[in-house]
Structure 1
Amino acid sequence: MKFALATLVLVFLLVGCGKERLNIPNVPVNFSGQLTDPRLIRLSSPGGAVILDNYGVAGIVIYRTQFSGYKAYDRCSTVNPEKQCAVELDDPTFTVTDKCSGAKYSLEDGSPAKVPAVLSLKEYQVTVAGNTIYVTN
């Protein structure tokens, strides 16, 4: 009985010592822009999304949700984040795709929409004051 229990504990330990999950690195993000800026014009209606390079790990994607709010995510895919593969906007822009792995993510909440993604995109804080949108962490 002791041998069976020890074997069972050993099996659980070996299974639990799998590959550690990699996270998206924390880097400072501080973007602000006028919603009338031509780069952001696609945010004027729900379902619109824009990509901005040179922010976050692999750039950021800002999305106007169906309920008139805004979401912002790092473009770095959570599938093999060490490769820093940037997600691309799909058409229509309700999802983004990691071209390296084929994973898809919902822009409404950043959640995985297609395997091999199991972790959500890294989300940043979005604030709108007047006609200015701020994306920070």
Structure 2
Amino acid sequence: MNEIEARLRDSFGRQTMMQTLGAAMDRAAEGAVTISAPIAPHVLQQQGAAHAGLAFSLGDSAAGYAALSVLPAGAEVVTVEMKINLLAPAVGDRLVAEGRVLRPGRRIVVVASDVFAEGPKGRKHVATMLGTMVPVEG
């Protein structure tokens, strides 16, 4: 495990929200992070699909950790804005969020995330997100 991955996984391990959702960091590399979580009974909306809040939480965290991966050790990031487009109902066994850096910077980091539902019927793109992260002192 390299220094970037170790730093991201250490921070992720302290996120109680991600623990509550049963989320895991599947991939951590410079500029790109993948986070997944099961579509469990406690995260459904009234029609039986995963709640959009789950998609948003995973996408925001994947994008945020992608941003953190391009910053020096000791830095942290916070989301200052995040837009989500919901593309389809999130039905399946789990959601997978793939976050990436679009443009790194010292003052802002522009990020994007795509969220997919995976299950017996395959993989479906259910949300796309665009946002801005701001580096802060750790």
The two structures share one fold, judged by TM-score above 0.5: no
Q: Relative contact order (alpha carbons < 8 A, sep ≥ 6): 1 or 2 greater? A: 2
Structure exhibiting the larger radius of gyration computed from Cα positions: 1
Which one has the bigger helix percentage? 2
Which one has the bigger strand percentage? 2
Q: TM-score, normalised to structure 2's length?
A: 0.30
